[in-house]
Amino acid sequence: MKLSENIMGVQHLGIPTADLSGSVVWYEENLGFQKFYEKTVWSDGKLNAAFLKLKDLVIELYEQAGSGQEILSRGDGILDHYAIDAPDFDNCCQRAEAKGLRFHASTPKGAVRYENIGPKGVRGANYVGPNQEVIELCHNCSINYGYRTGLQGWSHLAIKVSNLQASISFYENLGFSKAGEGYLDTPDGRLYIGFVDNHGFQLELIQLTGAGLEKLKSRGNGRIDHVALSVKDAKEAFYEAKKSGCHVLDLFLKELPFFEHGIRYFTILGPDGEKIELNQIRSW
């Protein structure tokens, strides 16, 4: 089975924290996430992990013993921000601000309209999460949301890239297909954007230029550490990833006793060093 045929969309987004319980409460109280699983395991030391869900959006908050200072010192990463779908955008933003959520420096005055993304533009406002992760509330003006209100789960995950076409080709090899494009004019110059989709999960690939492109070289594992894609068969995916020349970080397939029957996973790097976990939740 080809790697592109093995991948079945997104599984979760991995966010490291120095305060697991506080981060869980923040997501539950401010954005309406619900914790559905929590466990302590031993993986390179004591690891506490909690999985939370908002519709189809799952995040893994995890606290690794002894790594608190490293987590607190992280800056912006290649995985730049994630966006939550907000049909009644103005009301969602008002509720966020009423709860005391703080705007991120990328949208310091709140809601912004991006006229040149998608057929009819996009509205967005970026907020700061409990671990300094950037969370966008996003309204795609091309979508008919009907009577839906409140936060609806995944909109997209944004990745800052150095070569848009190279990144699109890489993700096409993982089974993604092109789903849209646009651009954003900035003081550094025009940023070209491409959207790719896999089973309803979209990545927003943002090609940097000027000073931003230079800064990208120093970005590493940021406040959003990794994105996990679900695979049918992790063992076969591991073999195919190595065979196809992917930059595989692990020497062997890893396992953790999460959920009823455990998980199998390994990590590859994208074109700009973004961490992509290929993960199988075992059913037996």
Domain count, the chain: 1
pLDDT band at 283 (very low <50, low <70, confident <90, very high): confident
13-67 per-position pLDDT tens digit: 999 999 999 999 999 999 999 999 999 998 878 999 999 999 999 999 999 988 8
The residue range of the domain holding 265 is 3-281
Q: Which CATH number belongs to the domain containing residue 108 in this structure?
A: 3.10.180.10
Provide mean pLDDT across the span 234-260: 96
Confidence of residue 240 (pLDDT cuts 50, 70, 90): very high
Share of the chain above pLDDT 70, in %: 100
Distance (Å, whole) CA 21 – CA 262 = 23
CB 212, CB 68: distance < 8 Å: no
Both ends of the chain: CA-CA distance in Å? Answer: 21
Q: Where are the beta strands (DSSP E) in the chain?
A: 7-16, 34-42, 46-54, 57-64, 79-85, 112-114, 122-128, 134-140, 154-161, 177-186, 189-198, 201-207, 226-231, 247-248, 254-256, 263-269, 275-281
Alpha-carbon span 275 to 6, nearest angstrom: 18
**Secondary element (H or E) of residue 71:** helix 68-72
3-state secondary structure of 93: helix
pLDDT exceeds cutoff 90 at 224: yes
For the cut 90, the answer to whether the pLDDT of residue 260 exceeds it is yes
**Radius of gyration (Cα) for the chain, nearest Å?**
18
3-state secondary structure (DSSP) of residue 110: coil
Residue 188 pLDDT greater than 90, yes or no: no
User: Would you say the pTM of this structure is higher than 0.85?
Assistant: yes
Phi, psi of 274 (to 5 degrees): -65, 140
Express each pLDDT in 207-221 by its tens digit: 999 888 888 988 878
- Tell me if residue 150 falls in helix, strand or coil: coil
pLDDT at 284: 81
